[in-house]
Chains A and B, each alone.
Chain A
């Protein structure tokens, strides 16, 4: 339950009114620095990026004046095939990683909450991938995927399969990235799910034990429904970060081969720092921001609607 439901002071008489206005002033004092700082560090650059998005800001052609071009950049982005390809690639990657992370994470959580010796240590160790820099994650998986030399193909060969051209083939590159991302972030889902599982009241499960419901039934009909809000929450957080994925791809494939792994962040990077078309890059950023905000809001609203429908 959340505390702090507005002013907890009962407003009666001039003394209280003075107190309330004093509180307001203190609130301003507390908030103002943060808001100013946030404005400076966030809004201002964003506004600047916005300004760029309406201009013909082409660093490669410094002789062309950086004039206001209206929505030309936006038009270009919205009609460009590479942009939509990047969008699609991003969503493809998100679908791959989130689905596997969900299933694997929940499975691992079920494993890790068992009260057996060594589990606590295992849980701690399994948190490590989350805390590693994505660049390092990229690098170590590059090591494993490295053409000709990487060990992953060696072990695949040992069990009798053909070596896989992980990062050199357009067919496999996205999967390769997905695997690295899944490796890094499944522990997050595992941890959140484990915490949720442990906070569920034990009695309904004991009742099911006494009644004799099968373990599968209990998992599907008692555990999972109660986990749903938590899982949605966790997936939401992951989705936001997954949309912005950058470092791992930069290290592993730089968007290649043949743009097969060019996600939104990399598309923006390419526009801004390879073609030096800052205006277009900025426009693309805003378009993708709008898209993700809209999608997330829709998703959230539909989840909340189904939650409250269930509760009624």
Chain B
């Protein structure tokens, strides 16, 4: 049974439509991440699921029930906000008690739930403190605890890590992953950070300008992006793009990128008409430094900047008119002062997109 279903959900502010008829299925126990740049509608969508925003069109179901007109409190959801949303004048314990109050549980049951959540999240030493006395990471855990004690059917997270510094982010991200593994509750999570999405999600929903661009597992969206937007949004460093025209023969098409010739992936041969304008996408990781014997198709490139990151090295190089980045293990680091480089690309690793529509060309 699906936990959350959106059918053609639309959001309008006055005359302006900001979410354009999206469909989404979230299965029970799934960790689904809504990913996209600012203004893409992901937070609006989340808030519609929460009931904090009215649904202008379409239908929404939670746990099999149509909830378009159901108040937030009756949707059996809990939400973790970007700004923690803790009651500033209440202790941590009181915060959690207050969240449970509407459920009218017996006092011992309340204490039990709080004790369990505190244990899981490591909040026990913090129970009598006020939010102002906690660090950012602690506050976020309290926010999670407050959501947890209500044992909801769906957890909603609204960019919970955005207010944390980089190091804390990785820590709390881990805790969220562990929590999900332990509790198994359905999670709907909003972020603009693709690393959070890739590491946490069972399913990623990439959104842009109120539309869903692609839905898929992290592997899918990484290996088979459906369009240019998804291709460049997912993956760090971003995918290299080269505009090209299809040349060569029908059976062995060649991609001509301003003089650089690359063989097209065999699987796509049938889809490439001569003269078609395509955009080649190459992940930095798929660029290799050619061996000295220069066998196979290699290309001469000029090194611009080398960024050394300890375990890997990012080489910013120029190939003809194009500036690209290659991501290589640190051992492949070029010698200082080296300017020339020969790179090789495996044709099967190339992504092709129709330049006009931006859509991926798939076999």
Asked if chains A and B are in direct contact (CB within 8 A), the reply is: yes
State whether A206 and B79 are in contact (beta carbons under 8 Å apart), knowing that A212-B74, A311-B130 are contacts in the complex. Answer: yes
Task: Confirm or deny: B52 has a beta carbon within 8 angstroms of a beta carbon on chain A.
Answer: yes
List the A side residues contacting B103 at CB < 8 Å. Answer: 212
Task: Determine the residue in chain A with the shortest Cβ distance to B79.
Answer: A210
State whether A212 and B132 are in contact (beta carbons under 8 Å apart), knowing that A206-B52, A222-B87 are contacts in the complex. Answer: no
For the complex, what is the distance from the CA of A206 to the CA of B100, rounded to whole Å?
15
State whether A204 and B101 are in contact (beta carbons under 8 Å apart), knowing that A210-B52, A210-B73, A311-B130 are contacts in the complex. Answer: no
Please pick, from A201, A207, A311, the residue contacting B99 in the complex, using a CB distance under 8 A. Answer: A207
- Could you tell me if B88 and A207 are in contact, using CB atoms closer than 8 angstroms? no
- Could you tell me if A210 and B74 are in contact, using CB atoms closer than 8 angstroms? no
For the complex, what is the distance from the CA of A214 to the CA of B98, rounded to whole Å?
11
- Could you tell me if A210 and B88 are in contact, using CB atoms closer than 8 angstroms? no
Task: Confirm or deny: A209 has a beta carbon within 8 angstroms of a beta carbon on chain B.
Answer: yes
CB distance from A180 to the nearest CB of B (A): 36
- Could you tell me if B101 and A207 are in contact, using CB atoms closer than 8 angstroms? no
- Could you tell me if A226 and B89 are in contact, using CB atoms closer than 8 angstroms? yes
Please pick, from B74, B75, B79, B98, the residue contacting A213 in the complex, using a CB distance under 8 A. Answer: B98
- Could you tell me if B85 and A212 are in contact, using CB atoms closer than 8 angstroms? no
List the B side residues contacting A210 at CB < 8 Å. Answer: 50-52, 72-73, 75, 77-79
List the A side residues contacting B283 at CB < 8 Å. Answer: none
Interface string of A87-129 (1 = CB under 8 A from B): 0000000000000000000000000000000000000000000
Task: Determine the residue in chain A with the shortest Cβ distance to B82.
Answer: A203
Q: Name B54-106 residues within 8 Å CB distance of A.
A: 71-75, 77-79, 81-90, 98-103
Task: Confirm or deny: B277 has a beta carbon within 8 angstroms of a beta carbon on chain A.
Answer: no
Task: Confirm or deny: A211 has a beta carbon within 8 angstroms of a beta carbon on chain B.
Answer: yes
CB distance from B67 to the nearest CB of A (A): 13
For the complex, what is the distance from the CA of A164 to the CA of B239, rounded to whole Å?
84
List the B side residues contacting A212 at CB < 8 Å. Answer: 71-74, 102-103
Interface string of A298-312 (1 = CB under 8 A from B): 000000000000110
Please pick, from B83, B89, B90, B102, the residue contacting A211 in the complex, using a CB distance under 8 A. Answer: B102
List the A side residues contacting B89 at CB < 8 Å. Answer: 225-226, 310
- Could you tell me if A217 and B101 are in contact, using CB atoms closer than 8 angstroms? yes
For the complex, what is the distance from the CA of A81 to the CA of B50, rounded to whole Å?
66
CB distance from B126 to the nearest CB of A (A): 14
- Could you tell me if B73 and A207 are in contact, using CB atoms closer than 8 angstroms? no
- Could you tell me if A211 and B99 are in contact, using CB atoms closer than 8 angstroms? yes
State whether A221 and B74 are in contact (beta carbons under 8 Å apart), knowing that A204-B88, A210-B51 are contacts in the complex. Answer: no
List the A side residues contacting B72 at CB < 8 Å. Answer: 209-210, 212
List the B side residues contacting A211 at CB < 8 Å. Answer: 73, 78, 98-102, 150
For the complex, what is the distance from the CA of A204 to the CA of B52, rounded to whole Å?
13
- Could you tell me if B73 and A203 are in contact, using CB atoms closer than 8 angstroms? no
Using a Cβ–Cβ cut-off of 8 Å, how many residues does chain A contribute to the interface with B?
19
Interface size grouping (class) on chain B:
20 to 34
For the complex, what is the distance from the CA of A211 to the CA of B90, rounded to whole Å?
16
List the A side residues contacting B130 at CB < 8 Å. Answer: 310-311
List the A side residues contacting B84 at CB < 8 Å. Answer: 203
Task: Confirm or deny: B226 has a beta carbon within 8 angstroms of a beta carbon on chain A.
Answer: no
- Could you tell me if B83 and A209 are in contact, using CB atoms closer than 8 angstroms? no
Task: Determine the residue in chain B with the shortest Cβ distance to A207.
Answer: B85
State whether A209 and B52 are in contact (beta carbons under 8 Å apart), knowing that A203-B81, A226-B88 are contacts in the complex. Answer: yes
CB distance from A153 to the nearest CB of B (A): 46
State whether A214 and B102 are in contact (beta carbons under 8 Å apart), knowing that A207-B79, A311-B132 are contacts in the complex. Answer: yes
CB distance from B183 to the nearest CB of A (A): 18
List the B side residues contacting A209 at CB < 8 Å. Answer: 51-52, 71-73
Task: Confirm or deny: B146 has a beta carbon within 8 angstroms of a beta carbon on chain A.
Answer: yes
Interface string of A195-232 (1 = CB under 8 A from B): 00000010110111111111001000110011000000
Task: Determine the residue in chain A with the shortest Cβ distance to B132.
Answer: A311
State whether A203 and B85 are in contact (beta carbons under 8 Å apart), knowing that A210-B50, A212-B73, A214-B102 are contacts in the complex. Answer: yes
List the A side residues contacting B51 at CB < 8 Å. Answer: 209-210
For the complex, what is the distance from the CA of A310 to the CA of B100, rounded to whole Å?
23
Please pick, from B75, B82, B85, the residue contacting A204 in the complex, using a CB distance under 8 A. Answer: B85
List the B side residues contacting A217 at CB < 8 Å. Answer: 98, 101
For the complex, what is the distance from the CA of A222 to the CA of B94, rounded to whole Å?
11
List the B side residues contacting A310 at CB < 8 Å. Answer: 89, 130
CB distance from A301 to the nearest CB of B (A): 20
- Could you tell me if B101 and A213 are in contact, using CB atoms closer than 8 angstroms? yes
Task: Determine the residue in chain A with the shortest Cβ distance to B149.
Answer: A211
CB distance from B80 to the nearest CB of A (A): 9
For the complex, what is the distance from the CA of A208 to the CA of B52, rounded to whole Å?
11
Interface string of B103-144 (1 = CB under 8 A from A): 100000000000000000000000000101000000000000
CB distance from B73 to the nearest CB of A (A): 3
For the complex, what is the distance from the CA of A207 to the CA of B51, rounded to whole Å?
11
List the B side residues contacting A226 at CB < 8 Å. Answer: 88-89
List the A side residues contacting B50 at CB < 8 Å. Answer: 206, 210
CB distance from A280 to the nearest CB of B (A): 48
Task: Determine the residue in chain A with the shortest Cβ distance to B74.
Answer: A212
Most buried by B among A206, A213, A225, A226: A206
CB distance from A166 to the nearest CB of B (A): 42
CB distance from A252 to the nearest CB of B (A): 42
List the B side residues contacting A214 at CB < 8 Å. Answer: 102
Q: Name A172-208 residues within 8 Å CB distance of B.
A: 201, 203-204, 206-208
- Could you tell me if A204 and B87 are in contact, using CB atoms closer than 8 angstroms? yes
List the A side residues contacting B52 at CB < 8 Å. Answer: 206, 209-210
CB distance from B147 to the nearest CB of A (A): 9
Task: Determine the residue in chain B with the shortest Cβ distance to A209.
Answer: B72
- Could you tell me if B79 and A221 are in contact, using CB atoms closer than 8 angstroms? no
CB distance from A107 to the nearest CB of B (A): 21
CB distance from B40 to the nearest CB of A (A): 21
Q: Known pairs A203-B84, A204-B86. 15 more at Cβ < 8 A?
A: A201-B83, A207-B146, A208-B98, A209-B71, A210-B52, A210-B77, A210-B79, A211-B99, A212-B103, A221-B87, A221-B90, A222-B98, A225-B90, A226-B88, A310-B89
- For this complex, 11 residue pairs linking A to B, each with C-beta atoms less than 8 Å apart, are A201-B83, A203-B82, A203-B84, A206-B81, A210-B75, A211-B78, A211-B98, A212-B71, A221-B90, A225-B90, A226-B88
Sorted nearest first, the 4 A-B pairs with minimum C-beta distance are: A212-B73, A203-B85, A212-B102, A207-B85
